[in-house]
Amino acid sequence: MAVLLGERRCGRQWAWLAACALVTTSCTSVSYPEAAIKASDQGDQKAAISFARKEVARFSTPDQCSRTTNRNCGTLALAYGALAEYQILAGDRAAGESTFGSAKGALEWMDREDRPSATAMVYRDVSEAFWKTGDRPRAIVVFNEGRAAGADGWLYMCSAAQAAGYGPEGPRAGS
């Protein structure tokens, strides 16, 4: 009888440990965007690109973002924008430009009321990547494209905005 009780108690303990391990693993896992940012900040653009591609894959399915379903088109646009940024920072301008085009497509499928903020974030990230790699003229062009696309004030936080005569609040007097 004591052996049976001991086996039951041990079985419950294993079940409890397994449940705790599962909860701990799910709570401590890092999201793809967080992992990409961390990798990029550490200078590992290849890893950042890999993580960003995984995030794009999560939201680029027809049930997430398409002409008929715009459930996560904003998230997809942001994921594409981040991927484009990492590609540009890694020196693959052609891939970055292509991915930026995909981000613009996802922005078009978004709800109108959310589009200005997402547009600003995408264009800001891409503009800033060009700025950081030394292509200041392209950074300013991307900034101006973002303004024309209806981006909100977040866009004015990029380096190209100041170079083009804009501050965080928008155009400066005399600009």
Q: What does 48-88 look like in DSSP terms, one character per residue?
A: HHHHHHHHHHHH-STTTSSSS--TTHHHHHHHHHHHHHHHH
* DSSP H helices in 109-167: 115-132, 136-148, 159-163
In 3D space, the residue among 69, 74, 54 whose CA is nearest the CA of residue 121 turns out to be 74
**Higher per-residue confidence, 171 vs 80:** 80
Non-local (6+) Cβ contacts of 49 within 8 A are 36, 83, 86, 87, 90
Q: How many residues does the chain have?
A: 175
For residue 8, is pLDDT > 90? no
Q: pLDDT per residue over 50-94, tens digit each? A: 999 999 999 999 999 998 988 999 999 999 999 999 999 999 999
**Poorest-confidence range of 42-46, 68-72, 141-145, 162-166?**
162-166
CATH topology assigned to domain 31-171: 1.25.40
**CA distances (Å), 59 to each of 11, 41, 70, 141, in order?**
40, 24, 10, 28
pLDDT mean over 113-128: 96
The residue ranges of every structural domain in the chain are 1-30, 31-171
